[in-house]
Amino acid sequence: MKIMKTVQRIPGGLMVVPLFLGALINTLIPEGAEKLGSFTHGLAAGTIPILAVWFVCLGASISLKSTGVVLRKSGALLVTKVGTAFIIGYIFSKFLGTGMIETGFFAGLSTLAIVAAMDMTNTGLYASLMGQYGTKEEAGAFVLMNLESGPLMTMIILGTAGIATFNPLLLVGIVLPFIIGYVLGNLDEDIRGFLSNAIPVLIPFFAFSLGSGIKLSVILETGLLGIVFGLAVIVITGIPLILSDIFIGKGNGTAGIAASSTAGAAVATPMLVAEMVPEFAAVAPAATALVATALIVTSIVVPIITGLYAKNAPKMGFTRKRIKPKVQKEIKV
């Protein structure tokens, strides 16, 4: 059986197929892995440790000479993603405030749901797609983009009560695995080669683990609105991200498409925000359901359109511009 070749024919297949499989199993057999315990439960619930190892390997694959490219691309995507969420959130806040639409097709839609779904990129999905369709520098751009994780950016965008505080150690915890790998890889090329080989191998494992925390039934709970909401996240954030990648990041737009997803951490954001700002308590459950649906929809659709875009970008005249030689020349002068 040519299972691997079949999976690879699917755009983002190494990420999408295991993720969908995990979600399907969790939907049909809730808590099944937890009841089995041991290594099976660890495989299904091990998103964080698997990603931690993967980030070390990814860091090791980035050479010192390409660091400037990584920071440029990640900075451009970070500012664009958060900036777009801020603009859309600001507009809707003028109409909805801390409430939500109560009736009609858009019932349940709130500023909290919009900002939470739009301001965080699924960095694991992004990096895996860039590992397949982009460059190592583009994959490494997830480092700064991890600053979006958690309720911090959502709190800042919402601008509520001035209580958007966070523990700086959490930021260190996000980037430390990548830095460890980066240092090791640049100290010893053999280590770089050894760890770099593990990058594609780990992708389906953390994808399955991420999917194991999702239930496909959430799409039924939010109905057509949830699906439309997820697609809207891709369109509204994707267009500015493509332009940012092309004109600032000097890419061909593929990284922009890959960054237009909703992060898994975003699902917990509405409840976390509601705990800090009670005014959002009433809308948090509906917002959580919508964000969860956006996570599922974007996790499936973004890899597909990223693969299609990457294949057709050269035909449309979009190519990656080499900016590394220019930087090296300026340093020598």
Instruction: List, for residues 138-195, the tens digit of each pLDDT value.
Output: 877 776 676 666 666 787 787 753 444 455 676 677 778 889 998 999 999 999 999 9
320 CB-near residues (< 8 Å, 6+ apart): 135, 250, 251, 252
User: How high is the pLDDT of residue 38?
Assistant: 86
User: How high is the pLDDT of residue 187?
Assistant: 94
Bridge partners, residue 110, by sequence? 100
Q: Which domains does the chain have, with CATH numbers?
A: 50-332 (1.20.1530.20)
d(C-alpha 284, C-alpha 278), whole Å: 10
* Neighbour-count burial of 15, counting CB atoms closer than 10 A to its CB (0-12 exposed, 13-18 middle, 19+ buried): buried
User: How high is the pLDDT of residue 161?
Assistant: 35
pLDDT tier at 325 (50, 70, 90 boundaries)?
very low
Between the alpha carbon of residue 196 and those of residues 53, 59, 189, 202, 238, the distances in Å are: 11, 9, 10, 11, 29
> Kind and range of the H or E element at 40?
helix 38-45
Nearest Cα neighbor of 151 from 66, 265, 38, 31 is 265
Bridge partners, residue 100, by sequence? 110
d(C-alpha 16, C-alpha 22), whole Å: 10
List the end-to-end C-alpha distance of the chain, in Å, as a whole number: 57
User: How high is the pLDDT of residue 170?
Assistant: 62
d(C-alpha 109, C-alpha 289), whole Å: 10
Mean of the per-residue pLDDT values of the chain: 82
Encoding tokens for residue 222?
């939010």
| Cα dihedral 167, 171, 176, 177 sign | positive
Average pLDDT over residues 76-103: 89
Render pLDDT for 218-239 as a digit per residue (tens, 0 to 9). Answer: 777 788 999 999 999 999 999 9
CA angle 288, 289, 294 (to 5 degrees): 95
- Region of 99 please: left (phi>0), alpha (psi -120 to 50) or beta: beta
Worst-scoring range by mean pLDDT, 29-33, 80-84, 90-94, 203-207?
203-207
* Neighbour-count burial of 41, counting CB atoms closer than 10 A to its CB (0-12 exposed, 13-18 middle, 19+ buried): middle
d(C-alpha 123, C-alpha 110), whole Å: 24
Write b or e for each residue in 177-210: b if 16 or more Cβ atoms lie within 10 A of its Cβ, otherwise e. Answer: bbeebbebbbeeeeebeebbebbeebbbbbbbbb
24 CB-near residues (< 8 Å, 6+ apart): 211, 216
| Cα dihedral 49, 146, 31, 16 sign | negative
* More confident site: 143 or 135: 135
**CB of 290 closer than 8 Å to CB of 109:** yes
Nearest Cα neighbor of 248 from 68, 67, 77, 121 is 77
* More confident site: 315 or 252: 252
pLDDT tier at 98 (50, 70, 90 boundaries)?
confident
pTM over 0.75: no
Query: How many other C-beta atoms are found inside a 10 Å radius of the C-beta of residue 122?
Result: 26
User: How high is the pLDDT of residue 131?
Assistant: 81
Given a cut of 70, is residue 43 above it in pLDDT?
yes
